[in-house]
């Protein structure tokens, strides 16, 4: 039912009132308190005024017309300018019937006026919210209508931005969409929904470019040119990360002849001295196998004693590399189906397919460690209410090294490792649901520092390099805060019903 108040009050407070109070019923004490007590000012930092002909309403997000409409079902904001004959309505049970009827008539009139105005606001919002159609065979010079669809998500995002308003939907048709760089979304995209048009996440968003043009190189190994001088650490085949050429092979123990030499080097046998280690890494467990790190190999060749320097990782004393390690990223170690290797100085990538030829598979070279980056400019200007729904999000890069902590600083995540295929920072109400999140280099979803009230729900997450979903707040003692409570800026999320495996 509808209640009438003389004061403009904030919607957040109005929703606490009972909905079943009939007109003419004395207001409950809480309502009276609100009517006669302190009325918060309009000018809150996040508030927006919406002007209507007879007054004004306030909403924290006027672009959310559905929310406005839900409030409209049981509340009406009456301008202070309208404060005459109905001043006691409906709270004074001693009013005459005539007065009640008059007030009721007037009130109904006002209600109709307000409802009309709000409906117009809602209608305007609805009209402003457009759907942009994207199909793989579209054209980015098209307007994005159903008859003249766009070809890419970046073009659709730009079109939605240019249109202004909020609540736009980008509808992706079934097919494959490749991207040359990280796709960014910010506060200008607030309210945007990116959605697959058909069930089953059949719209496949790839975080990189397809690798094609393969030729047989030697035996079962194929190779193809890639940009010279550019390293990458994840080759994705049919939505799964391929194994970087390593020794020993999986299931064959550790080391394979290599072993740790102190905390910052490995030793290799003399028969490996001539190999090129320009793209090599060492995956190693530490200490008593508490955790593992990826160490960068720092020189392309070992010295005459077979010593190959690697970075020191977290540098935690008494927790150095142990003998459980793999050496990888060396072409000579590419010796079984499913392995791949980059020679970035030469500009070639090599691969031994598990079946058929490389042309039988979708092979992806990732463009970066973040594929979808949703980030407002600052904590005070978050990207809000952006949704990814019913799409496949496939592939992002890993990194040269991976440390569990910043060197010498327990409990921290190094800045350069705060990475996710879907990365959110300075975000509110980011939603990822009903998606397939495949072959992320780092985490599939990483919500960083300032991130609140996000939802990650009902997704398939597999093949991530580190975590399925990672929520990363401030390290204790860090950040521009005066108290622990103030530093609690990563919160309110709902992570539910995700199937996460092989991460
Ligand atoms: Ca191997």
Average pLDDT per block of 10 residues along the chain, 503 residues long = 28 28 32 27 28 31 27 26 28 37 50 57 66 98 98 98 96 98 98 98 98 98 98 98 97 95 95 98 94 96 98 85 96 98 98 98 98 98 98 98 83 90 98 98 98 98 96 89 93 98 94
Q: How far is the CA of 431 from the centre of ligand 1 (A)?
A: 39
Q: What's the DSSP call for residue 310?
A: B
How far apart, in whole angstroms, are the C-alpha atoms of residue 151 and residue 157?
11
What is residue 320's three-state secondary structure?
Answer: coil
Q: How far is the CA of 337 from the centre of ligand 1 (A)?
A: 9
CB atoms within 10 A of CB 471: 19
Q: What pLDDT does 119 receive?
A: 59
Q: Are residues 292 and 314 in contact, defined by beta-carbon separation less than 8 angstroms?
A: no
Q: Are residues 423 and 373 in contact, defined by beta-carbon separation less than 8 angstroms?
A: yes
Q: Pull the structure tokens for residue 50.
A: 């919406």
Q: How far is the CA of 272 from the centre of ligand 1 (A)?
A: 14
How far apart, in whole angstroms, are the C-alpha atoms of residue 11 and residue 76?
10
How far apart, in whole angstroms, are the C-alpha atoms of residue 91 and residue 321?
76
What is residue 196's three-state secondary structure?
Answer: strand
Q: How far is the CA of 340 from the centre of ligand 1 (A)?
A: 9
Q: How far is the CA of 291 from the centre of ligand 1 (A)?
A: 23
Q: How far is the CA of 503 from the centre of ligand 1 (A)?
A: 21
Q: What pLDDT does 114 receive?
A: 60
Which secondary-structure segment (H or E) carries 393? Answer: strand 392-394
Q: What pLDDT does 124 receive?
A: 57
Domains contained in the chain, CATH given? 3-128 (no CATH), 131-207+367-501 (2.160.20.10), 216-362 (no CATH)
CA-nearest of 392, 367, 366 to 173 is 392
232 contact partners, CB below 8 Å, separation of at least 6? 342, 344, 365, 366, 397
Q: Are residues 157 and 192 in contact, defined by beta-carbon separation less than 8 angstroms?
A: yes
Q: How far is the CA of 296 from the centre of ligand 1 (A)?
A: 18
Q: Are residues 296 and 311 in contact, defined by beta-carbon separation less than 8 angstroms?
A: yes
How far apart, in whole angstroms, are the C-alpha atoms of residue 402 and residue 69?
49
Query: Which regions of 258-371 does DSSP assign to beta strands (E)?
Result: 259-260, 265-267, 281-286, 292-296, 307-309, 321-328, 339-343, 348-351, 363-366
Q: Pull the structure tokens for residue 215.
A: 């030729």
Q: How far is the CA of 12 from the centre of ligand 1 (A)?
A: 61
Q: How far is the CA of 420 from the centre of ligand 1 (A)?
A: 28
Q: How far is the CA of 331 from the centre of ligand 1 (A)?
A: 9
Q: How far is the CA of 308 from the centre of ligand 1 (A)?
A: 19
**Whole-Å CA distances, 460 to 238, 434, 438, 453, 468:** 15, 8, 8, 21, 9
Q: How far is the CA of 165 from the centre of ligand 1 (A)?
A: 54
Whole-prediction pTM value? 0.76
47 contact partners, CB below 8 Å, separation of at least 6? 10, 58, 59, 60
Q: What pLDDT does 317 receive?
A: 77
Q: What's the DSSP call for residue 409?
A: B
Q: Are residues 393 and 437 in contact, defined by beta-carbon separation less than 8 angstroms?
A: yes
What is residue 100's three-state secondary structure?
Answer: helix
159 contact partners, CB below 8 Å, separation of at least 6? 132, 143, 144, 150
Q: How far apart are the first and last CA of the chain?
A: 51
Q: What pLDDT does 98 receive?
A: 44
How far apart, in whole angstroms, are the C-alpha atoms of residue 259 and residue 160?
55
Q: What's the DSSP call for residue 332?
A: G
Q: Are residues 87 and 100 in contact, defined by beta-carbon separation less than 8 angstroms?
A: no
Q: How far is the CA of 436 from the centre of ligand 1 (A)?
A: 29
Residue position matching structure tokens 């050496």: 327
Q: How far is the CA of 440 from the centre of ligand 1 (A)?
A: 22
Q: Are residues 172 and 149 in contact, defined by beta-carbon separation less than 8 angstroms?
A: no
Alpha-carbon torsion 415, 416, 421, 425, what sign?
positive
Q: How far is the CA of 250 from the centre of ligand 1 (A)?
A: 8
Q: How far is the CA of 256 from the centre of ligand 1 (A)?
A: 10
H helix intervals, 73-141? 97-128
Q: How far is the CA of 281 from the centre of ligand 1 (A)?
A: 13
Order across the sheet with 455-457: list the strands.
Answer: 131-134, 169-172, 193-196, 387-389, 431-433, 455-457, 494-496
Q: What pLDDT does 1 receive?
A: 29
What is residue 422's three-state secondary structure?
Answer: strand
Q: How far is the CA of 259 from the centre of ligand 1 (A)?
A: 17
Q: Pull the structure tokens for residue 335.
A: 């010796």
Q: How far is the CA of 246 from the centre of ligand 1 (A)?
A: 4
Q: How far is the CA of 247 from the centre of ligand 1 (A)?
A: 5
- Hey, which residues does 456 pair with through a beta bridge? 432, 495
201-397-263 Cα angle (round to 5): 140
CA-nearest of 38, 46, 117, 30 to 79 is 117
154-158-162 Cα angle (round to 5): 170
Q: How far is the CA of 334 from the centre of ligand 1 (A)?
A: 5
Helices (H) and strands (E) in the chain, counts: 5, 40
What is residue 406's three-state secondary structure?
Answer: strand
């Amino acid at each position: 039912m509808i209640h009438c108040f003389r004061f403009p009050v904030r919607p957040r407070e109005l929703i606490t009132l009972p909905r079943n109070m009939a007109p003419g019923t004395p207001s409950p004490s809480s309502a009276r308190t609100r009517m006669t007590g302190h009325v918060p000012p309009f000018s809150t930092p996040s508030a927006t005024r919406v002007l209507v002909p007879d007054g004004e309403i306030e909403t924290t997000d006027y672009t959310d017309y559905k929310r406005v409409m839900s409030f409209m079902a049981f509340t009406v904001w009456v301008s202070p300018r309208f404060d005459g004959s109905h001043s006691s309505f409906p709270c004074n049970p001693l009013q005459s019937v005539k007065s009640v009827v008059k007030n009721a008539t007037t009130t109904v009139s006002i209600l109709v006026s307000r409802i009309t105005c709000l409906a117009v606001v809602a209608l305007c919002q609805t009209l402003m919210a457009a759907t942009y159609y994207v199909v793989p065979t579209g054209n980015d010079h098209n307007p994005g209508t159903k008859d003249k669809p766009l070809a890419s998500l970046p073009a659709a995002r730009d079109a939605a931005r240019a249109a202004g308003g909020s609540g736009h939907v980008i509808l992706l048709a079934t097919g494959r969409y490749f991207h040359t760089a990280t796709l960014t979304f910010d506060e200008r995209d607030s309210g945007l929904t990116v959605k697959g048009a058909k069930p089953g996440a059949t719209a496949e968003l790839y975080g990189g470019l397809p690798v094609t043009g393969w030729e047989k190189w030697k035996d079962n190994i194929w190779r193809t040119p890639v940009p010279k001088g550019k390293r990458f650490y994840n080759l994705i085949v049919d939505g799964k990360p391929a194994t970087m050429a390593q020794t020993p092979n999986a299931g064959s123990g550790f080391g394979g002849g290599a072993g740790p030499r102190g905390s910052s080097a490995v030793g290799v046998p003399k028969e490996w001295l001539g190999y090129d280690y320009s793209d090599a890494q060492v995956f190693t467990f530490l200490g008593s196998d508490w955790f593992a790190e990826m160490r960068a190999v720092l020189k392309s060749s070992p010295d005459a004693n077979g010593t190959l320097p690697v970075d020191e990782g977290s540098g935690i004393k008494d927790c150095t590399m142990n003998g459980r390690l793999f050496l990888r990223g060396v072409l000579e170690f590419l010796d079984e189906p499913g392995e791949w290797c980059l020679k970035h100085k030469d500009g070639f990538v090599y691969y031994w397919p598990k079946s058929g030829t490389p042309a039988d598979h979708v092979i992806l070279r990732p463009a970066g460690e973040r594929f979808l980056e949703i980030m407002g400019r600052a904590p005070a200007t978050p990207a809000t209410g952006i949704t990814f729904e019913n799409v496949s999000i496939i592939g992002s890069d890993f990194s040269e090294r991976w440390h569990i902590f910043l060197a010498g600083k327990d409990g921290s995540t190094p800045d350069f490792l705060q990475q996710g295929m879907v990365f959110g920072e300075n975000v509110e109400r980011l939603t990822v649901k009903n998606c397939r999140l495949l072959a992320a280099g780092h985490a599939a979803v990483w919500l960083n520092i300032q991130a609140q009230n996000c939802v990650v729900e009902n997704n398939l997450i597999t093949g991530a390099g580190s975590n399925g979903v990672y929520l990363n707040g401030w390290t204790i003692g860090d950040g521009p805060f005066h108290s622990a409570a103030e530093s609690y800026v990563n919160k309110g999320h709902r992570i539910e019903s995700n199937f996460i495996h092989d991460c």
